[in-house]
Structure 1
């Protein structure tokens, strides 16, 4: 791999492969400062309100949070679940349902949004750049590892233990930032191209 990692090289990084000594490998759980699970009030949510509860249906396979068809929660419940308020660079992983294993990132914080019980919220520690971690989990290698932890038959899903089974390969923090910046730029270019169509 070259010093300035290309997108193709990033996609080909495989867990257990030590082709460069400056790259490290850790289980996902060692790279997190927090792993949160949301909830929602008994009986579901409201059709309108000030506070938004997002779940698996708002996360798509391309890594985006879809803020259409929202479910709202009352302020009285919101105050009980404030720890899951969406913070900048939170990584969201769908726990169960049709989108199990899909990941997205919050590019901005929004103190009106919390997650429900169908989402894990991952907060990276200082060892790893959150956007880099997001792109790794979104890559084929990340997706394959997450989906390898799915259990159940009638209601498939992943549990908190998935973070101890996913291997993350990463370079220095400065290289992580560079890789994430390139991938972010590519994403925005694709987004603009799709808007033109």
Structure 2
């Protein structure tokens, strides 16, 4: 491993002098893709067993550059009968194989122009490239398997793809224009070393995401058991009792608190409006905006049945579109913040909301207050249950932060490896690389 000394020009930057810069069309050949609609797909295995990858999957579903069929379960199937299996024998339908690229030829923003994935571990399944995609294939003598998708990930290649994209609301790149884009290619041994490092990073990310999924399932199970009384925590007994929410909460209707900060209520919490990614659409006249305090629960009056509620740990004001409820002495609001997200409660809120259709339903406090719930006999048990669920949430949050850090580390590796700022040998030791890259990035 070493830093680059001898360089040459590649678009508006420098790359190692021994890297090739062929045009994409000189190393990749295009394969046919097929335009089936979402209605013609299913997530269930079909008799034909034909997998189908749509441009929307590349943009939104598959985060990693390598789509590994051994671990990815979300690749949809074509519904039976759309393609005659005998057609494959006649080679009318080129089946994709390990190392092939699927490239999105359209995007609603420049960021997604020519997003691509490389296929891995397909096995015996048949895979087709779908609507608004290009499929491309090359030889292992030119580009190593596991590195091919990264040939389009160099920052200057991305800039060039965005430059040649055409359109207004949707941006696209033609095969002809993509064919002329130059790509930087390290020697084959270095490609393999880079692919090995980045695949190790992908494996760490996948392991963490799998653990997150397991912890989320465990939390769901805990909610189903603890919030219904099917399972009791040690030290608690007695019969659960039916109560109306009006016995547990009062409505807070404090207004004209002009000195308090404006807050937003999202599905996962209450936070300052200036930290929101959404545009501030609040009125200049905030005389009717409602005060919310730590321990209060705010909910969207028209969307409570969709679980749009959150516990606040801040004091501020929120839009009149929200109802604010404050807990009484016998109420642990953290417990209820979990309870209000359960399917049973959201259904009860829907049934008690007033309106002709879902878009006009309102669950005002008078409707909220008459909803009946089965509760633990003491506030102490509410608190104990809430603490168990809160601990599960914290565990999930830590794992999500770890996954995000791993993704950032991989991004940092890509910045130095795909540009040639750091060179690798084929006999690279992976654990040395993992230590060296972050140190390089910190300088």
8 Å contact kept, 1:151–1:157: yes
SS of the equivalent of 1:113 reads: strand
8 Å contact kept, 1:61–1:102: no
* Alignment partner, residue 93 of structure 2: 82
* Alignment partner, residue 105 of structure 1: 118
* Alignment partner, residue 152 of structure 1: 167
In structure 2, do the counterparts of structure 1 residues 74 and 132 end up closer, same or farther at CA, with 3 Å as the change threshold? same
In the TM superposition, residue 43 of structure 1 has moved relative to its aligned partner by 9.4
In structure 2, do the counterparts of structure 1 residues 191 and 14 end up closer, same or farther at CA, with 3 Å as the change threshold? farther
C-alpha distance in structure 1 between counterparts of 2:105 and 2:115, whole Å: 8
Kindly tell me the number of residue pairs found equivalent between the two proteins: 187
C-alpha distance in structure 1 between counterparts of 2:63 and 2:122, whole Å: 21
2:32 equivalent to 1:26: no
Larger relative contact order (CA 8 Å, sep ≥ 6):
1
What are the residue-to-residue correspondences of 1:4-153 with 2, within 5 Å?
A: 4=1, 15-16=10-11, 20-32=16-28, 34-40=29-35, 45-47=40-42, 49=46, 50-59=49-58, 60=62, 62-63=64-65, 65=67, 67-68=73-74, 70-75=76-81, 77=83, 79=87, 82-83=93-94, 85-98=95-108, 99-110=112-123, 111-125=125-139, 126-153=141-168
In structure 2, do the counterparts of structure 1 residues 40 and 20 end up closer, same or farther at CA, with 3 Å as the change threshold? closer
In the TM superposition, residue 122 of structure 1 has moved relative to its aligned partner by 1.3
Gaps of 5+ in 1: none
C-alpha distance in structure 2 between counterparts of 1:154 and 1:102, whole Å: 17
8 Å contact kept, 1:53–1:73: no
In structure 2, do the counterparts of structure 1 residues 162 and 191 end up closer, same or farther at CA, with 3 Å as the change threshold? farther
8 Å contact kept, 1:52–1:70: yes
In the TM superposition, residue 159 of structure 1 has moved relative to its aligned partner by 0.9
Structure number with bigger Rg: 2
8 Å contact kept, 1:87–1:109: yes
8 Å contact kept, 2:66–2:149: no
In the TM superposition, residue 113 of structure 1 has moved relative to its aligned partner by 1.9
Aligned Cα root-mean-square deviation (Å): 3.0
In structure 2, do the counterparts of structure 1 residues 146 and 108 end up closer, same or farther at CA, with 3 Å as the change threshold? farther
The CA deviation string for residues 47-74 of structure 1, in whole angstroms up to 9 with x for no partner, is 4533222111111454254653725144
In the TM superposition, residue 88 of structure 1 has moved relative to its aligned partner by 0.3
C-alpha distance in structure 2 between counterparts of 1:193 and 1:41, whole Å: 34
TM-score scaled to structure 1, two decimals? Answer: 0.76
The CA deviation string for residues 108-164 of structure 1, in whole angstroms up to 9 with x for no partner, is 225322112311111123322242231232343333332232112243211102333
In the TM superposition, residue 171 of structure 1 has moved relative to its aligned partner by 2.1
TM-score scaled to structure 2, two decimals? Answer: 0.37
Of 14-23 and 88-97, deviating more is 14-23
In the TM superposition, residue 41 of structure 1 has moved relative to its aligned partner by 5.2
SS of the equivalent of 2:16 reads: coil
In the TM superposition, residue 87 of structure 1 has moved relative to its aligned partner by 0.5
SS of the equivalent of 2:34 reads: coil
SS of the equivalent of 2:142 reads: coil
8 Å contact kept, 1:14–1:141: no
* Alignment partner, residue 191 of structure 1: 206
Gaps of 5+ in 2: 212-398, 400-443
